[in-house]
Structure 1
Amino acid sequence: MSLTHGITLGWFSPTLNLLLSDKNPFGDPLTISQATFAGSIVALGALLVTFILGWPLDFFGRKIVMYATAVPNLIYWILVYVGGHVACLYVARFMVGVSGGILLVVLPIFIAEIADDNVRGTLSSLLMLTLCAGIALGLIMATYISYYVLPFIGSSMAIIYMLSIIPLPETPQFLLKRGRDEKAEKSFYFYKNLKRKSPSDPIKEAEAKAEFNTFRENVLGGNNTQKAHCKDFFSKAALKAFGLISVLLLGNTFSGAFAILNYAYEIFSNLGSRIDPNTSGSIVGVFQLLGICCAVLLVDRLGRRWLLIPSLVGTGLGELGVGLLKTFASKQFLSDNGWLGLALICFVEYIVSLGVIPLTFTIIVELLPAKIISIGTSISVASYSILLFVALLLYPMLIKNYGVASAMFMSAGVCFFGAIVLGIFLPETKGKQILQ
């Protein structure tokens, strides 16, 4: 599903030129303000759903909410195909946000609950890997595939996702907290790849049973099954976690990672390169994907801090380089050396994808106290949506009124700030037990 969602996100940048033209499938050519709103309304959709998602997660469970991820995605592709009016575009982009908001809340929690501690970072990074792979595919597919063919591909992928998760059981943690011990035991053996009954090997059966009993005691101990109260969100551990999460989210959204891809056409047009802006955007998407692949291989070997902090510093340096290039290089130099701006943007997307993008939601889940993890994650993603909405509104305005350099300098400053604060206060969360 994250791959499908990535395609919906990557669709916008190469399609924006069409939406601004007389051939706009949604009616009259979009104005700059309409295009800006269409680009940023994604965050509003995520904001709406994440504010209310904590309760369904704790009441209905993780799997039911996972099904709901595909529904707004299907609505999106239907509206893209039908078109006709700019309001359909707004609703479609809003649905993208709803789908993404559900995805970014439920899947990190689901992964944290079913994964062993030593591979949790790798599996969580795979979520962002497939998301960024989808963005890269979306950039390429929207450029080279017919506008009216892509909705059939996207909607088919969403349906396949819904069918593929049918065999998956609910997480054992949720089932234990709802008092469904027998189902929890089956789920535990499923995700741990243990045989529930081994008549031919009673020793292994006893070991598996003992492992589940230990797991059960850890989950049900420490008052984790009790309902969370307001005071739980204002404990010392919770306040520290939310403080670090705030800085982490600020660094993620204002690093420009998503905004650069969303407005790649405008950024490369402003840099004056002779290389086709849509082609440049597709190349950048590939480098982002490469960075995520490296993160998947390294996250459980090096830990969170050793990827996150250098990623923030490197992203800031790369964006500082782009800002200086645009400020001091002549138009002729930029035209003759278009590869230089492209190389710097590719470096930015690669290095931000090495730490900031794949680790943000992994660290959020690992920082939050077990008792408030569902609602706390929901609050964090809602905050992320607000910051992303502001960033996506601010970026095109900065680019239009003050140039690309101003946007790059702002993002670089935020990255350096985040690197300093998190470098001092963020603990290493590699191997930390979740919900136990």
Structure 2
Amino acid sequence: MTFKWRLSAVFANPNCLLGRRNRHQLLVTLLLNIATFFHGLGVGWMSPVMRELQTDESPLEFPVLVSQVSWIGSLVGIGSVMGNLIAGLLMDRIGRKMVLFFIAIPYTTFWFLVYFVQSVEFLYIGRLMAGVTGGACYVVLPTFISEIADTNVRGRLGSIILLSVNTGVLAGYIVSTNVGYYTSPPFIIALPVFYFICNIFIPETPHHLVRKGKYEAAKRSFMFYKNIRREEVKAEDEFEELKYLLIKEQTEKAKSFDYRDFITKPAFKAYASAAVLLISNQFSASFCVTTYLADVFAASHTTLDLGTCTIVIGVLQIVGNYVTTLLCDKYGRRILMLTSTLGAALCLTAFGTFTYFAKVIDLSAFGWLPLLILSCFVLLCNIGLVGCLFVVLVELFPAKIRSVGVSTFVVILSSTVFLTLKIFPICMAVWGISATMLGCSGITFCCFLYFCFFLEETNGKSLLEAYTCPISLSQFICEVYIQIFGYKMLMRLFQRPNCLLNRRNRYQLLTTLLINVISISHGIGIGWLSPTLRKLQSNSPVGFEVKSEFEISWVGSMLGMGSVTGNILIGCLLGRLGSKRCLLLIAIPHSCLWILVYFAQSVEYLYVGRLLAGICGGGMYIVHPIFLSEIADANIRGTFSAMVMLSVNVGVLVGYIMGTHLPYYSIPFMVLILPVCYLVSVLLFIKESPMHLIRIGKYSAAERSFRYYKNIKDSDNIHHQNRAMEEFEIMKIALSKGDPLQDAITFKDFCTRPALKAYGPALVLMIANQFSGLFTMVNYMSDIFANSGSTMDPDTCSIIIGAVQILGTYVTTLLCDICGRKLLMLVSTAGVAISLATFGCFTKYAETHDVGEYSWVPLLLMSMDIFLGNIGLVGCFFVSLVEMFPVKIRAKATSMAIVVCSSFVFVMLNIFPICMKQWGISATMWSCAGVTALSFLYFTFFMKETKEKSMLDD
């Protein structure tokens, strides 16, 4: 009796799938997912078969090449697009049930073509038909299940779709491994026939019937799916409410369904989250690994049996999806997505690292590791990225555009399926499995960061609601931190004005990070040249070599000439177009750089590419400091400005690594992703600075921009809003007062006492920044180490220096607003002078003595030089330069100063390799040390501290 009572209590729980109300919903879900099971069976069956078709043991009478395999794999994506479109067009016209009947037909055709195959074209058409079935399933099944399921079980029933697919994938792996090619089709065809018969007994969804005006049929369908056996007042009321809401929705849709419904704030939020969701689902390689699993294991250096590994992965796919069904409605979609993306990124990184080292080191003792890593990857992918995909996709969109939105994004998903399946085997062949997996890891980690900040929780959301407020990352962290460490400590940290995660500073931080995507990309272009230039001098990977000192110096120095051009161009346009448009412009020449690098036929291509890279950098070094100084609070302005050089140095390190370890022609495609992401980010998330909007008289837009960057909400308390608006009015009065004078800036304005005081420190700052050799050495780092007397690998040393650069600039972000600019400048110039002088002495001594025992000394000295240079001369350069000039001439004076600095860049990049050739590395380093020592003396006596100086003061 006790057991029976407990069992009854379990079944009475509304969340139990076997509860009375949920039984028919579960039964219908299982019957419908026979279709997803046999679709998965076809996907899994092809993985070992495709590998077998490329060998001498092929069961077919014709050969199948690698290029044909990629088409066999990817045509399921094109078919999926067709299935999405067909199902999307027919679903509302003929009903969900009729579309469910239709999807069995192309799948049956697939197996007939497999059995009667005469050429590879039969397989092409068959995979296309299989894709039509899959694409239609992924449109109609999530919609059907969401319309029949209760809110509290919708997530689990929806996740059964991918659970069934993965069960089919496992069955496909087993069947293709153990059953002959021509034996499988006759047995598998029984599945779509059985599915077709089951569909006869499944009622249409009540949602569709109400929309068609068939209210009696809708009521019967509702009673069936809720398992109501007799008239119940509560059930009657529930149906009438559903009927009322659907009729109301349909009436509003008929009256006012136009483009404006697609440009609401909830809609835009849904687009962004859905796009990232699709990118993470496909470009994490989750589906590609499933499709080409046998090939992946073959390339992974595993010592285990490939067939066994494939079956183990298939089992774990099912386990992962089953875990989703258990956790999806209990813990929510968001936490599963975060766990899934982060775990997948880490597993892909581990897999790529293992396969990279397995090429050069005997790791046969760890031959089990690829299976372990991929098992973790597949398990983690399936508990979120795969298992929750369709549930989250349906729930993201507002009710009014849900049908169109979901259909559109499922079509896009199918297109990306085709794209990834087509390029994945090619990438493995051209780049190697390590680079392919590491690339997928990077994309997945970026998606994890997006989900952290922007993905809303949709658990428990009614499908008739338009929008649910997201749970922000900061709230989530607060809750966890409060439980573990206590409330007061966290609040004190976040309430500090200098904390970048302080409520007022968050959007300023987000904007800074987004605009510095182009800084990273620019840094990659700088760092990439150093190891690549050495490759181009001998055994060039392209059709020409760069041998003469003349060509080397011009390849390096064209960056400086381009920088001057970019300074002048953006300096002229900044006041006219505004910061946002200038931020968009600088991405164009940078993209052209990588296109020219890829299609280079002679050294002149590199000249033009470096010139365009310089235009991007020159424009960036004008617009970034001014834009950040106009949106950032005074107490954190230095930190944000230092992030520009921090981002550049991160890019330089990445460029060193890519230039050293990746093929020449692979790099441009990978780097081009960054300017594209940057363009999208600036367009969608960056607002014009309030100062510029005030200058051009757009006061309402300026106020909105000010409120955005200071994170002032209408729901904030009145005192907080009034205080912020007083700050805005002070800015408005100060800038409006100065505006009549802006057009009348004369030569006299450049001869005022504050202006003359600024010229000296600014000029010395630019001389120290460039003639200390800090930037020049970054460009020629591999050549410097090759001539330093060190026996260490020059490219490895360059990578270490890249990491030290990042550390130095990061220290600047921590100390710039605490210790002030002047102290960091003094420490930096003194340290650089000493390091360079010592480096010159070592290389001079190495010319006549054996220093093999001390080959680490050049790396140590250069690390000290770069680290100390970056904590002041580089890291504080732009923030100090902007703050030195009086407010009236600040924009023009800063622009002219950066033009002069860019000219110095050109001169140094041009003469540095010549000086090393003519004078030797020792004399060159001593010269740079002397310039830096004199700059130290000047800063000691004449440089003023500008920490916390208002941008409205002289």
Equivalent position of 2:692 in the other structure: 174
Equivalent position of 1:220 in the other structure: 736
C-alpha separation between the residues in 1 aligned to 2:717 and 2:866?
52
Q: Alpha carbons of 1:347 and 1:205: their partners in 2 closer, same or farther (altered >3 Å)?
A: closer
> Gaps (5+ residues) in structure 2?
1-517
One-letter amino acid matched to 1:210: E
Answer yes or no: is 1:380 the counterpart of 2:897.
yes
Q: Could you say what secondary structure the match of 1:165 adopts? A: helix
Q: Alpha carbons of 1:203 and 1:266: their partners in 2 closer, same or farther (altered >3 Å)?
A: closer
TM-score (norm 1): 0.96
Equivalent position of 2:341 in the other structure: none
CA contact (8 A) 1:113 1:435 kept: no
Equivalent position of 1:337 in the other structure: 854
Answer yes or no: is 1:267 the counterpart of 2:817.
no
CA contact (8 A) 1:53 1:102 kept: yes
Equivalent position of 2:921 in the other structure: 404
- Cα RMSD (Å): 1.6
CA shift at 1:232, angstroms?
1.8
Answer yes or no: is 1:185 the counterpart of 2:711.
no
CA contact (8 A) 2:566 2:617 kept: no
C-alpha separation between the residues in 1 aligned to 2:723 and 2:915?
61
**Per-residue CA distance 1:210-268 (angstroms, 9 max, x = gap):** 23212212332355762233322222222221221110000000111111121112211
TM-score (norm 2): 0.45
C-alpha separation between the residues in 2 aligned to 1:329 and 1:300?
42
C-alpha separation between the residues in 2 aligned to 1:225 and 1:2?
34
Equivalent position of 1:277 in the other structure: 794
Equivalent position of 2:811 in the other structure: 294
1:38 to 550, 555, 563: 555
CA contact (8 A) 1:26 1:86 kept: no
C-alpha separation between the residues in 2 aligned to 1:191 and 1:81?
39
Answer yes or no: is 1:47 the counterpart of 2:47.
no
One-letter amino acid matched to 1:256: G
Range 213-222 or range 313-322, more displaced: 213-222
C-alpha separation between the residues in 2 aligned to 1:419 and 1:99?
31
Q: Could you say what secondary structure the match of 1:416 adopts? A: helix
CA contact (8 A) 1:173 1:435 kept: no
Equivalent position of 1:59 in the other structure: 576
Q: Alpha carbons of 1:332 and 1:224: their partners in 2 closer, same or farther (altered >3 Å)?
A: farther
C-alpha separation between the residues in 2 aligned to 1:91 and 1:246?
29
CA contact (8 A) 2:774 2:866 kept: yes
CA contact (8 A) 1:10 1:136 kept: yes
2:769 to 252, 261, 285: 252
CA shift at 1:87, angstroms?
1.0
CA shift at 1:375, angstroms?
1.7
Which structure 2 residues correspond to residues 119-198 of structure 1 after superposition, within 5 A?
119-166=636-683, 167-195=685-713, 197-198=714-715
Answer yes or no: is 1:14 the counterpart of 2:531.
yes
Q: Could you say what secondary structure the match of 1:433 adopts? A: coil
Equivalent position of 2:865 in the other structure: 348
Equivalent position of 1:312 in the other structure: 829
Range 72-81 or range 28-37, more displaced: 28-37
Higher CA-based Rg: 2
CA contact (8 A) 2:536 2:546 kept: yes
1:210 to 726, 729, 742: 726
CA shift at 1:36, angstroms?
1.0
C-alpha separation between the residues in 2 aligned to 1:23 and 1:115?
46
CA contact (8 A) 1:245 1:380 kept: yes
C-alpha separation between the residues in 2 aligned to 1:225 and 1:187?
24
C-alpha separation between the residues in 1 aligned to 2:890 and 2:538?
46
CA shift at 1:205, angstroms?
3.5
One-letter amino acid matched to 1:13: S
Range 229-238 or range 114-123, more displaced: 229-238
C-alpha separation between the residues in 1 aligned to 2:740 and 2:648?
31
Q: Could you say what secondary structure the match of 1:179 adopts? A: coil
Range 312-321 or range 415-424, more displaced: 415-424
> Gaps (5+ residues) in structure 1?
none
Equivalent position of 2:933 in the other structure: 416
Q: Which has the higher contact order (CA 8 A, sep 6+)?
A: 1
Q: Could you say what secondary structure the match of 1:278 adopts? A: helix
